[in-house]
Structure 1
Amino acid sequence: MARFPSGVVVLTSALPDGTPLGMTCSSLCSVSLSPPLLLVCIRSGSPTLEAIRARGAFAAHLLQEDAQSVSELFSSGAPDRFDRVRWTPEAATGVPHLLDGAHAVADCEVRQCDTMGDHVVVFAGVRQIRIGPEAPRPLVYGLQQYTGLPLRRGVPSP
């Protein structure tokens, strides 16, 4: 699967005591438009998965091309990652929202979790989406490298 390029997402949540947790993820996909549902696959035993399950909510930050450093930070395991980025808790859920690097953020509530192999598939309803004012190039990862997805205006979506 390292040969399959995909968008880069940072998932964030918080433990019941408010401790923020987050991780880089490339296994996010849309499940349904009506109602809006998505899924993410997270390694069993992940501290971020623990927070997502405990809080029942998370934010999916779709990263833009210039946010490679954010992706690398949240995939590093650095315990001080939230000290090194600007963020704020979302009012309704307390889930951390990164203030830089995302071209869109989906606020999600957990609907179902299924264990598959060494991962947990988290199905979530999308409560709200925030889209940035500009349309930057999305960050893509594949073949062990980052790139931005070129945007072409006037081309219909598949």
Structure 2
Amino acid sequence: MTQVVETVDQQQLRTALGHFATGVAVVTTIADGEPIGMTVNSLCSVSLTPPMLLFCVGHRSQLHPLFASASHFAVHVLSARQEEVCRQFARPGRSRFGDLPWQPGRTGAPLLPNSLVTLECAAERVIPAGDHDIVLMSVRHLHPVCGDNPLLFFAGGVRDL
């Protein structure tokens, strides 16, 4: 018989949810005239009509105030060949772009090359949720999909299909 845990230990919950495989994305925006970005695995489709997505940003993240107040974003769904991009945007600190090439999208958000798909979005609402904020976005532009395999996050690490 399966034992039910009545009080949830934070580390046990993290380990348990690590068994839910997710895609990996980098969300970018402009803050104080500079490109910023972060790796997320909390990307979720919310609605097709109207097209909406969400991602979550932790309150302890140095980038939290910048993402919580941004008006436009670019969401880059990473391919299996973009593991280094994933790691670069997961590092601490504000300057994560380094020498990565980028160009402004139609919304002004920084676009990275070679993603599986890139979605340009406008912020709709920021919803407090525990130690994170949920950033709800409307999709404004969709950039073509490339045919690579996705980069996945599972059990605390990145994987390929």
What's the TM-score once normalised by structure 1's chain length? Answer: 0.84
Structure 1 counterpart of 2:159 = 147
CA deviations on 1:65-94 (whole Å, 9 max, x unpaired) are 01001001100125542123111122x332
Q: Shift in Å at residue 62 of structure 1? A: 0.1
Q: 1:131 aligned to 144, 152, 155, which one?
A: 144
Equivalent pairs: percent with the same residue? 33
Aligned residues: 145
Q: Residue type of the partner of 1:81?
A: R
Q: Shift in Å at residue 148 of structure 1? A: 2.1
Contact 1:59–1:95, Cα closer than 8 Å, also in 2: yes
Q: Which runs of 5+ in 1 are unaligned?
A: 150-158
Contact 1:12–1:48, Cα closer than 8 Å, also in 2: no
> Which structure has the highest strand share of the two?
1
Structure 1 counterpart of 2:40 = 25
Structure 2 counterpart of 1:4 = 20
| Stretches (4+) displaced over 4 A | none
Write out aligned runs for 1:40-51 (5 A). 40-51=55-66
Label 1:48 to 1:130 Cα distance change in 2 as closer, same or farther (>3 A): farther
Structure 2 counterpart of 1:110 = 123
1:94 aligns with 2:124: no
Root-mean-square deviation (Å): 1.6
